[in-house]
Structure formats: structure tokens, C-alpha cells
Structure 1
Amino acid sequence: MLVVFCCAYDADRVQAEETFAEKILRLFPQADRNNDGVLSEEEEAAVSQRVMQRYPQADQDGDGVLSETEKQDLVQKASQRGRKQRPSSPSRSGTNSQNTDAVLKQLGLKGDLDIEYRKNTKQQRNRLDFIYPRTKVYERAPLFIYIHGGGNTGGTKNALYNKSSLILKELTESGIAVATIDYRVFGAGEELGFHQLFEDCKDALRFLAKNSDRYGIDPHKFITWGTSAGGSKALVAALTDSDFLPGENAGPETEHTVIGAISFYGATTYLVPELWEKRLQRFP
């Protein structure tokens, strides 16, 4: 099994190859007036005009036109503001179907969204998105499974579309399927044991294995991938047996193999048995 640890993650660098139009469409999908998934020259010009009207300081040289440098500065500041904002309510799944549809349409991808992988809990967060490969390469596609971060108190599966759309594009064009999952979090009005957050992630993998024929994926070629709290869950999901932390999905048809894991600055003490036991206490 391949396990990769990353201590730093720069979303702007990952997306450095995006054009200004692609970045605007990702940050402000409403700019796509005709909803065709592409920002036309007219739509881009309209965005620039509205920006200069509302934020005249964006036109740094005062020539009435946003240069490429001024556009990049604008997008960078917008991205920084977006990272500082937290979800308004961690109890919600945070799904924005219109935004997700716009991203998938822009990338030329198809997906099944908000699939319930276990019965709705009080938080109604046990859902996942499945994105089909854009290119047929394998008889049964390998599957990358993204697990979002959020300090175990927030975050959503939509982080995949907001931060990693280029990675999503590269994977699907290589014949690889992608799933992104939500799991329950603390502070959302449901009493939880720490292990139940991990149980949700394991249950999502078991659900995908059980439905591997439906999605055309190979249940023995899973790769988990997560950031921060999601990185920890990606490691636990990869380094434990299929039936670890049994939830609602069980049985031989849920067996799967995780052949690799990628953790962006995820805590690793969860893998120490003594410390794991201490985390079985319950939280409100």
C-alpha cells in the first residue's frame, strides 16, 4: 500500500494552471448567465465591469480596464476571503447542487449527487457524490475517495469542487472514478463518540464496495484522500480492515481493499491504540 503524507497544501498552487475565466466561474458561478458551464468573453467583460464599479481600487492603474495582473490579484483576494469563511451551520451538509452541477458541467463530467450511504441521522450528513470517469480506460475503474477536513466540527464534501477541481479533472480523464463524502461532526446537536465520525467514513467505503457493479468500479482498487481531519480519516480508512467500526453496511459484499492513502496534514495519533481508546469518550 502506498501512503503519502503532505504537511502543507496550497490550493492556489494546485490551481495555478486555471485561466481567469475558469477561476471566476469556480468562485462566482452566477457569472455564467446562460448556464452553459463556460464563461464567454461577454460574461467575463461584464464581471470585470461590475468589479470596477463596486471596487474601483481593483483598477490599480486607473485605465478603466482590468489587466491580467489586476485580474489575478482580484481572484487571489477573493480566494483568500473564501478560505476565511466558515460554514454558517455545521449541522447542514452544505450541499449546493447548482454550484456542483456547474463545476461538473464545466469539466464535462457526470455524477450522481447526494447519495445516501446510510440512513439519515439527526444531522442528515451521511451522503456522498459519485463522479464517473470521463474516459473509459479500465474495465472496472479505480476509485479515489475524498474526505473533507473541518476540525471534526464542520466542512463539506463540496470542498472537492471548490479546491481540487483540476485534480478531479485529471483523475477522471485518466479513467478513474471519484467520490466525495460527508460525515457527521461534533457540535451539531447529536451526541457522538469520536469513533463514529470514522465509522461513517468506513460505512461510505463499504457502501461503495457493495454497489461496485452499479458504479462500474473495482472494490479492490480504492484510494483514500483527505485534508486535515479528513486526512486522518483517510489513513484510518486505508489501514484498517473492511469490517472495522461496523455500521449499517456489513457483509461479505462490502469487502474492499484500499491500495493507497494520501493525507494532507492529517493527525496520525489515531493509529496509536492507547490514544485511540482515549478518543472513545462521547461529545455533545
Structure 2
Amino acid sequence: MDRNRDGKLQLDEIPEQMRPFFQRADANKDGVVTREEIQAARQPGPQSRQRQSERAVEEFRNVAYVKGGHERQTLDVYVPEGIEGKNPVVVWIHGGGWQNGSKDRCPIQYLLDHGYVVASINYRLSGHAIFPAQLHDCKAAIRFLKANADKYHIDADRIGVWGSSAGGHLVALLGTTGDAPKTEGDLGVTFGNGAVQAVCDFYGPTDFLTMDESNVKSRLRHNAPGSPEAKLLGGVPTQTLDQARAASPLTYISAEDPPFLIYHGDKDPVVPLGQSQVLERRLEETGVPVELIVVAGGGHGPFHTPEIQENVLKFFDRILKAK
């Protein structure tokens, strides 16, 4: 199947019936699968180290957040059984280079054991629509959750978002565009807004115009035709400058933005560490609470170790349970 003989597989090289396996094997959600990832996915036992919920959960699956919308405009909500009142919610946004990935196999369900409702969303991929469709979908999903807060026992004023890679990019955008009404779109629930109160960004891109400026050898040329960024923007970043700037969380940073927790590996071969460093610096300069944790020797995730999960839990507790 490796038609271009580059030692790795991309989604378009995989037969349709095997694509679910591709999603499982692509552990770091960079849009390619290596031989090592295939071997790891074939091993018996859990495919990842994340700890899931230990309590009974009521699941609301494949809920349309845009009535009559695209098949990707759906979300899942996980509500701990017996939970009462209004509770904080953390929304997971998957990665996959904006061109693949799924809300299924949500890796943050361990939060259900700690007083949180959890949601996981799909959004239109770059093969369906170019940016800002993905941001509009994420905001529509947040507005839907706020409008249905009573049904899911959610406090609409205590919403956290967590995403990795392309999902990290989208949660960073949600965090910095809460006071930018023109970024809301007009999908689904049109009242309210998609503002959130806490952002956990795992190695998300922040500036497409500087993605190729790194000392770490990358698997990808980001400013090239056919790159994930070019597919998202509808053209290579340096030739679609307005689109590239509109897709950058840096463009919208203001003092009103919510606190950020950022994780990034210093050996990430897909999204350079500098992408998170510039976000941290710009947030700090603006007075937004932010912490960047650099994972020594870390590649492109996935970083779902018990220690990191505990630290993320403490972050959400500090922000969302203090209200």
C-alpha cells in the first residue's frame, strides 16, 4: 500500500475497509502511520495508556449539534450516573491533521470520576470544507452544549476544552476568539457564544507561516501543496496569507482570554515546539495565565500518562471548580 515508498502510510493510500484500523494505529494523530505504529496497534491489550472512567456513565452518542447539518456535525456526551445540579464540562477535540480523526475513543473519560461531564465532538474535515468551517463547527458545538445545559447537568459558565495536534489548534482558537463575534459562524444554536473558560492545548499549531522554521527534522513540509495546512486553508500558507492569519490563535489574543495549559515535546517531528513557545510568550505578554510544560525527549504525543492526566485534572479543577 505504500505507493510512494516513503516508509509510512497516509489515509488516501489505505483501502476504505481498512481505514478504521488506520485511525487506531495513528497513535500520535499526525495523519500518517509508520511501521512502528502498525506493530504497536497489532499488539494485544489496550491501545493506549489513558485511564478511563470507573463509574457508570450515561452516554448520549451521535447527537447532532446542527439540525439537518453535515454528518460530521455530531458530538457525544458522557454524564456520570447519579450526578445532580450543574457541573463543569470538558470538551475533547480530536486531532488528525484536520483531514481525519474521530470523536470516538475519547481519551479523557477519566475526568468523569472527578465531578466532570465529558463531551467529544466531530467537525468537518478539510476534505469537506476549508477553514473557518472547523472553528465554526467547534463553536456551534459549544453553543449547543450551553443551550442544553440542563439536560446534560452542565454549568454553561464552566466549560473547558482539551485537544491534541489539530485539536490543540482548535481549542487554542476557541480560547482566544471568545471575544471575537465574527468568528462564531451561524450554524446550529445561534444565540449565546462559543466562549470557554479553560484551555488545555496538547502540541497544537499556532502560526502556519512559521511551521517550517525548526531545528527538529520534520516529517512534513508544511508550506507545500498537499500539506495538511494547505488542505485546511485552500492553498499553501504563504500564498493564502489572510487565511493563514485568520487561522492563527495568535491573531486574536486579548487580556480577556481564559487560562491555558500547554504540553509539547521538545523532539516533536510534526509540530515544532516553537509553535507552543510563541503562544505562551504572547499570552504572557498580554497578561493571560499560561503554563507551558515541555516534555523532554517527547515527540508528537500522545502524553496520556497518569502523571500528565493528574496535572491536567488539577488545572481544570483550579479553573472550573473555583467558580
For this structure pair, what is the TM-score category when the shorter chain's length is used for normalisation? 0.5 to 0.7
Match of 2:93 among 144, 147, 154: 147
Match of 1:205 among 138, 142, 145: 142
**Richer in helix (by share):** 1
Q: How many residues align?
A: 176
What is the identity, as a one-letter code, of the residue corresponding to 1:132?
V
What is the identity, as a one-letter code, of the residue corresponding to 2:77?
F
Matched, 1:127 2:74: yes
Q: For residue 270 of structure 1, report the CA deviation from its aligned partner.
A: 6.9
Cα pair distance change 1:228/1:174, threshold 3 Å: same
Match of 1:111 among 59, 70, 79: 59
Cα pair distance change 1:265/1:75, threshold 3 Å: closer
Percent of aligned pairs with the same residue? 28
Aligned to 1:277: 242
| Contact kept? 1:219, 1:257, Cα under 8 Å | no
Q: For residue 78 of structure 1, report the CA deviation from its aligned partner.
A: 2.0
Aligned counterparts of 2:150 and 2:73: Cα–Cα separation in 1: 21
> How large is the Cα RMSD of the aligned pairs?
3.6
Aligned counterparts of 2:43 and 2:199: Cα–Cα separation in 1: 31
Cα pair distance change 1:108/1:152, threshold 3 Å: same
What is the identity, as a one-letter code, of the residue corresponding to 2:207?
T
Aligned 1:142-221 pairs, distance under 5 A: 142-160=88-106, 164=107, 167-169=108-110, 171-187=111-127, 190=128, 192-221=129-158
Aligned to 1:78: 43
Aligned to 2:186: 247
| Contact kept? 1:135, 1:172, Cα under 8 Å | no
What is the identity, as a one-letter code, of the residue corresponding to 1:140?
K
Q: Could you report, residue by residue, the CA deviation over 1:214-249 in whole angstroms, capped at 9, with x for unpaired residues?
A: 212111100000011001111111221274332223
| Contact kept? 2:41, 2:47, Cα under 8 Å | no
Q: Which runs of 5+ in 1 are unaligned?
A: 1-26, 28-73, 84-102
Aligned counterparts of 1:183 and 1:146: Cα–Cα separation in 2: 12
| Contact kept? 2:93, 2:120, Cα under 8 Å | yes
For residue 203 of structure 1, give the secondary structure of its aligned residue in structure 2: helix
Q: For residue 268 of structure 1, report the CA deviation from its aligned partner.
A: 1.3
Q: Which moved more, 1:254-263 or 1:210-219?
A: 254-263
Q: Could you report, residue by residue, the CA deviation over 1:177-226 in whole angstroms, capped at 9, with x for unpaired residues?
A: 00000001122xx4x23111111111100111111122121111000000
Aligned counterparts of 1:271 and 1:134: Cα–Cα separation in 2: 46
TM-score of the superposition, structure 1-length normalised? 0.53
Aligned counterparts of 2:188 and 2:41: Cα–Cα separation in 1: 42
Q: For residue 173 of structure 1, report the CA deviation from its aligned partner.
A: 1.5
Q: For residue 133 of structure 1, report the CA deviation from its aligned partner.
A: 2.7
Aligned counterparts of 1:259 and 1:108: Cα–Cα separation in 2: 27
What is the identity, as a one-letter code, of the residue corresponding to 2:101?
G
- Structure ID, larger Rg: 1
| Contact kept? 2:55, 2:113, Cα under 8 Å | no
Aligned to 1:226: 163
Q: Which runs of 5+ in 2 are unaligned?
A: 1-23, 25-38, 211-237, 247-323
What is the identity, as a one-letter code, of the residue corresponding to 2:196?
V
| Contact kept? 1:231, 1:264, Cα under 8 Å | yes
| Contact kept? 1:151, 1:229, Cα under 8 Å | yes
For residue 200 of structure 1, give the secondary structure of its aligned residue in structure 2: helix
